[in-house]
Chains A and B, each alone.
Chain A
């Protein structure tokens, strides 16, 4: 149990760094940033508070950008060359989840694409990508769309997620806009805080209802403090963010999805547009179309160990006869489930819920069962 005294110098900081310090956060290096892994309440209580009330997450390390066509037209068809989502039909103020794919159909990163409301300019798309991938993603866009579209990085904006059953009420109160209570899942709303225009998306990464708020960096601290002043809202670190998204069955890039996994294998086929399935036209389309038609050889599944011992990333998944099936890609303790939960890839013949498997933990095959994802029911606002 060596104490980990990580040096956090030379890491980038988000605009909320002073707030994290005042709140007593434990900071860790993550994707080149110094980020709060937990606050004094600890991971377990933070997780439970988010499911019961609302949590505030600093996700300013993520990459925000506009994609703008050089000729001033709609860049949706250009972005469709790199992702399998239907974007041309995306309406203003609506958002989609998709993935950058490679020539083998593997995933370079996953991202959110919003066609902004008219006030932000219709002929552009607003992208939010993973922190660890952002430089590579934007370089990929600029290389593949060179001369046709450009990336305008939004370095001067922070990103704050408010998640949980009380999140929308807290956001509506702070922005003094009750209409925010009734905005649909995956929609964008513009609202002012302290005079500055914020972009609010009804989306998140916890399986709960809530908003992700892009705001000017210099206003992020005041906005966060206004949200935290609500009795229902507490600050939540990366530790609980991970256990919340794991219970919600959501993929973490670099773990559950990467360049070797396709959207079909990962159970993300729902994010592939109907027209795109037929037409293709994105990197690796033949592989993805073949897997859609014939079924993938392996699938990402939920796994619930019978006992209390967590099975973490890298643990071998075995058949009951001890044959190697695959590996756990994310695993840990699910506070809401009240026991260990995991995800991993298994051959499709072993992917049916209820299939008995073993998990090789410290030399022992712990009994476990394939489960349907998510482990905790999604609590998104559907109107």
Chain B
């Protein structure tokens, strides 16, 4: 074919998108290869978490039905986990600050915020470790009942994701300390950030489903709760009408 184009335009399409350090290689969509790969991977990861969350929700309440404790309402400590959830969400803020600093060429601050993000992630993991061992001492393990099996698997799978993220950030920090993470490399950090934010968002879902939504206590208490809710609702209604 006689038709040709400038290779500077298209050759980047071939390979710079891979691991190159050029700022924005030309691609058909204008999105860098690696960035697109990360978005696609996250789409796939949604389905991973979706399958696990579905499993958890299917087995929710199964232990109560079978009468094999310890039950979630005896173990879940919402204030404690709220704090660690807050820590993880704050790490998204520091992630944004790290990227912003790097994009402005402020290497020192980018290192600071990367370190802070990794630290917050580690604090979250430490919190999870502590929570797991607390639950274990209360008698809950993978073998105890369906709650133990599905709880540890789901939150453990998430914790594994956070661990990967922390290792990634620490690696980036080392690269940065050796002078390899400059303004023009901000894409490297941005992609790690995409992953990090995704893992945070997933935690919001898990936190809601696994901790916040109250568990049936399978005693008269549950009925009382329901009655209280009904009376509260009717009093609300009576105020309007």
A, B assembled together: no
Binding site for A on B (CB under 8 A): none
